[in-house]
Amino acid sequence: MSSSSSRRAAPKPEVTVSAELFAPVNKGIELCYQTFGDPDADPLLLVMGLGGPMTWWDEELCRLLAGKGFFVVRYDNRDTGRSSRVGTRVGRTALVRAFAGGTRVRPPYTLDDMAEDAFGLLDHLGLESAHVAGVSMGGMIVQTMAILRPGRVRSLTSIMSTTGKRTVGWQHPSLTPTLLAKRGRGREAYLRSSVTMWRLIGSPAFPQTREVVEARAGETFDRGISADGVLRQMLAIVTQPNRSARLKSLRLPALVIHGLADRMVHVSGGRATAAAIPGAELLLIDGMGHDLPRPLFETIAGGIRRTADRA
């Protein structure tokens, strides 16, 4: 054998991927979840954002994280994908009132409830604590987890999210009509509206082809979508409290990732999050919008690993 052959890196072990499973978690809610990697590795819970199923955490990214020494758990939030639906109807009028600061608007559930869902999933898996990473609304959920039960969160990565303070992390006004517009019925209508939305909020420096967006939208539709569920999640978001003061009490490794081209959650939300959490690392990415483009997978996975190692 030549010396060059002897120096070749050993092949990476195959990542074990579970089937999609179900867990009863919180007051009748059942979550659909899936795992990647060795159950004895560092547990990492991935929490997706508004209306996004767990498959928006791309399988390639999950495998990459598992290869970096994590036992990766991704799941559908309540009202998303194959997880439980909450029956309470929410009208757009209530959502607009809440967005305008209406104090009498009560959501069917809160971000605290969604954080308890996540803790219930950890319980189901027999995990006393975990590293957590969340995107957008998922970032709000993992921040809430760390506030509610800091002993169960080993490290926190908040991606393209905000603190709940109204003066930071705002949406670009041009997005509001599209977000509130009623989608047409059926799969083709959902694909068209998804292409429109991702053109508005995707990363300009890392554009995704129409074929990629349509394939993801088709998979999302086939998993099960709920327009009412999205409205309920939106109401939980717009009625969230300002977490800034409580984030200052955290004592854990934290990473905040935000795109400088994010039109859904302005970068001021990421800056405010990092400023609120003592010792948090702030990673701002030029040309990144409100998505997780494949060219950034290594940057994101490396940041999560680096933060976990600080624990």
* pLDDT tens-digit map of 133-188: 999 999 999 999 999 999 999 999 999 999 999 999 999 988 877 776 777 789 99
pLDDT tens-digit readout, 54-95: 999 999 999 999 999 999 999 999 999 999 999 888 877 777
* Number of Cβ atoms within 10 Å of the Cβ of 183: 16
Residue 228, pLDDT above cutoff 50: yes
Residue 217 counted as domain residue: no
Q: In sequence order, what DSSP letters do the residues of 255-291 get, joined into one string?
A: EEEEETT-SSS-HHHHHHHHHHSTT-EEEEETT--SS
CA gap 197, 271 in Å, rounded: 25
Residue 214 counted as domain residue: no
Range of the domain at 104: 18-172+227-309
State how many domains the chain has: 1
CA gap 245, 167 in Å, rounded: 15
pLDDT higher at 94 or 25: 25
pLDDT at residue 5 in the model: 40
- Classify 42 as helix, strand or coil: strand
Q: Of the candidates 120, 111, 119, which has an alpha carbon nearest to the alpha carbon of residue 139?
A: 111
Residue 301 counted as domain residue: yes
The β-bridge partners of 26 are: 29
Q: What is the CATH number for 46?
A: 3.40.50.1820
Give the model's confidence band at 100: pLDDT under 50 very low, under 70 low, under 90 confident, else very high.
Answer: confident
Residue 204 counted as domain residue: no
Residue 185 counted as domain residue: no
pLDDT at residue 233 in the model: 96
Residue 58 counted as domain residue: yes
Residue 10 counted as domain residue: no
Residue 281 counted as domain residue: yes
